Amino acid sequence: MATVAEVIVETLIAAGVRRIYGVVGDSLNGLTESLRKSGQIEWIGVRHEEVAAFAAGAEAHLTGRLAVCAGSCGPGNLHLINGLYDCHRSRVPVLAIAAQIPSAELGSSYFQETRPDILFKDCSHYCEPVSTPTQMPRLLEIAIRTAVDRRGVSVLSIPGDLALKDAPHAPPFVLDEAPPALCPSRAELARVVALLCAKGKRVTILAGAGCAGAHPELLEIAGALQAPIVHALRGKEHVEFNNPFDVGMTGLLGFSSGYYAIMDCEVLLMLGTDFPYRQFYPDHAQVVQIDVRAENLGRRGRLDLGLVGDVKTTLAALLPLLVDGRCEPDGRHLERARKHYQKARRELDELATGEPGKRAIHPQYLTRVVDGLAAADAVFTCDVGLPTLWAARYLTMNGLRRLVGSFSHGSMAGAMPQAIGAALALPGRQVVSLSGDGGFTMLLGDLLTIRHRKLPVKIVIYNNGALGFVELEMKAAGLLAFGTTLDNPDFAALARAIGIHGVRVEDPGELPGAVAAALAHPGPAVLDVVVNRQELALPPTIQRQQAQGFTLYALKAVLSGRGDEVLDLAKTNLWR
């Protein structure tokens, strides 16, 4: 007879789980002891449970397989919640095991008592307590299938004492992770063809993460329609590479070419994207959306035609109908968008320069150097805010490289924990964390996890001494920056103090050599790069309110004796 904990481990092994991320605790003793005796699933002990959830999410993102994290009762599993929100909104399959207080004490306001089955409801597809051994492993199997099939989080809450009780015998668990093909009806596809093939229509494609695995079909459709392809951030790694129709990204982090390719179109074809910013959608174009999730259709605005289907299968079925429909697209729209993209790309590249002897290192230059020296199959993780912006604009995807970030949940501090999951999931691949100084220090303790496990993660820190993106948002709103300054130590010296290779760079002339050395180092490395604090990250189009806000900020700064900020801003961004 096996215990509940032993059944959990056997079921996870059958589901292909390789490791569990977490922090040990007495309510997890049954699980961790079963893992120890089995020896087939590795326990990855971290310093903070939030890191466990972020790392599991990165593993699930990169492998497509179920990943698992665990937290002990009360505060232990509560620390998982932010990382689980990110996993759920990023739509990656993650199972969280939330240990619970002794079952006899439930409902008595016992020490560390919380209600995981309530707390995690909003960031999961399946969240249930296990109250008797006879529910296992059935509830676990439901949780696993739900997480895998619906691409999101499942949570099981299990009292520590229950994990040690005998469980009934169950047949071996079999998990089929292959997603089903989903395609609209022929009649629905015919309506799409009629709309897309209307004579002379200017069509633009907006492609997102749902285009993963559909690169050839995407290019064929774009060619048939002579349509420029704009990508959302989560679509960058799947869409951008080897793509003659690519005209950049849209949104606050995007390119002017991507913005205007959408604004100038007459038909917008949305493929596998739930891009949230409504101000970047066209007002007068017809909109067609194809998504595997029906709830996404029309969620962001007016929709002329919505179809439920996975992008790869749907485009494969749509292409011969487009050919039969004898589409006669106007190639001038694509040509204009391409020329605009070339100009926008050239202007962005002109900002990514470094002059030896200058103390201000432009973050664009740092990102461009990292991009040029990183491996062809490197895995990049990036913190939200400015590191995400520079990654979006300056990292080059090639079909082998991967990009992981908190692009839907927008949480600080994700890059380093996600790098831990990436390094464990894909050993042998180069993993580079593009970390903001604020994000890096928020979960700094797990730098010790990287050292302990000797993970060859390369952490590049954009050290501008500020919560930079928040500072920009304040200025754009006409406010003086407040509460954004960070009093940072020498991060390279800190890394060396705990036995990690650390280098600090303040001169642009030293940057290429330092980046090359850090990437070539056989173990973990921290590259602390002092970058310019006053770098403006301009959106693809400037709205009147933003221009007025910056003008108001400058006036307030001068009147309050902070005119040096305005001067530095002008020197950095206007006189280059």
> Quick one: pLDDT at residue 551?
52
Residues 33, 112, 220, 241: which is the catalytic one? 112
Domain match, 257 and 130 both:
no
* Residue 314 belongs to domain with CATH number: 3.40.50.1220
Helix (H/G/I), strand (E/B), else coil: 262 = helix
CA atoms within 13 A on the CB side of 287: 20
- H-helix or E-strand spanning residue 550: helix 544-559
Task: Tell me whether residue 347 is in a domain.
Answer: no
Domain match, 356 and 210 both:
no
Task: Tell me whether residue 175 is in a domain.
Answer: no
Q: Is residue 546 annotated as a catalytic residue, yes or no?
A: no
Domain match, 331 and 396 both:
no
Task: Tell me whether residue 181 is in a domain.
Answer: no
Residue with tokens 């439901």: 142
Domain match, 288 and 383 both:
no
The torsion angles phi and psi of 244, rounded to 5 degrees, stand at: -70, -10
Domain match, 336 and 367 both:
no
Q: How far is Cα 548 from Cα 536, in angstroms, rounded to an integer?
A: 15
Domain match, 387 and 503 both:
yes
Residues 6, 10, 49, 59: which is the catalytic one? 49
Q: What number of other Cβ atoms are within 10 A of residue 84's Cβ?
A: 33
Could you give the number of structural domains in the chain? 3
**Given 164, 198, 214, which residue is the final one in a domain?**
164
Please answer whether residues 94 and 153 qualify as being in contact, where contact means their C-beta atoms are separated by less than 8 angstroms. yes
Domain match, 437 and 489 both:
yes
Residues 23, 288, 384, 526: which is the catalytic one? 384
Q: How far is Cα 36 from Cα 29, in angstroms, rounded to an integer?
A: 10
Distances (CA, A) of 220 to 60, 214, 320, 423, 532: 29, 10, 10, 34, 42
Domain match, 121 and 194 both:
no
Domain match, 11 and 159 both:
yes
Q: Is residue 111 annotated as a catalytic residue, yes or no?
A: yes
pLDDT in tens, the chain (576 residues): 799 999 999 999 999 999 999 999 999 999 999 999 999 999 999 999 999 999 999 999 999 999 999 999 999 999 999 999 999 999 999 999 999 999 999 999 999 999 999 999 999 999 999 999 999 999 999 999 999 999 999 999 999 999 999 998 777 788 877 778 899 999 999 999 998 987 768 999 999 999 999 999 999 999 999 999 999 999 999 999 999 999 999 988 888 999 999 999 999 999 999 988 888 899 899 999 999 999 999 998 889 999 999 999 999 999 999 877 677 788 899 999 999 999 999 999 998 898 887 777 999 999 999 999 999 999 999 999 999 999 999 999 999 999 999 999 999 999 999 999 999 999 999 999 999 999 999 999 999 999 999 999 999 999 999 988 888 888 878 888 889 999 999 999 999 999 999 999 999 999 999 999 999 999 999 999 999 988 876 666 555 555 555 455 444 554 455 545 544 545 555 444
Domain match, 196 and 153 both:
no
- H-helix or E-strand spanning residue 207: strand 203-207
Task: Tell me whether residue 174 is in a domain.
Answer: no
> Quick one: pLDDT at residue 546?
53
* Paired tokens of 197: 């093939």
Q: What number of other Cβ atoms are within 10 A of residue 404's Cβ?
A: 26
Q: Is residue 279 annotated as a catalytic residue, yes or no?
A: no
* Residue 49 belongs to domain with CATH number: 3.40.50.970
Residues 469, 471, 505, 550: which is the catalytic one? 469
Task: Tell me whether residue 332 is in a domain.
Answer: yes
Q: Is residue 379 annotated as a catalytic residue, yes or no?
A: no
Please give the radius of gyration of the chain, using alpha carbons only, rounded to the nearest integer: 25
Residues 40, 111, 335, 545: which is the catalytic one? 111
**Given 341, 369, 387, which residue is the final one in a domain?**
341
The parent domain of residue 207 ranges over 186-341
Q: Is residue 49 annotated as a catalytic residue, yes or no?
A: yes
Task: Tell me whether residue 177 is in a domain.
Answer: no
Q: How far is Cα 112 from Cα 75, in angstroms, rounded to an integer?
A: 7
Task: Tell me whether residue 172 is in a domain.
Answer: no
**Given 308, 341, 374, which residue is the final one in a domain?**
341
Q: How far is Cα 81 from Cα 121, in angstroms, rounded to an integer?
A: 10
The torsion angles phi and psi of 462, rounded to 5 degrees, stand at: -85, 95
Task: Tell me whether residue 221 is in a domain.
Answer: yes
Domain match, 358 and 337 both:
no
Domain match, 129 and 49 both:
yes
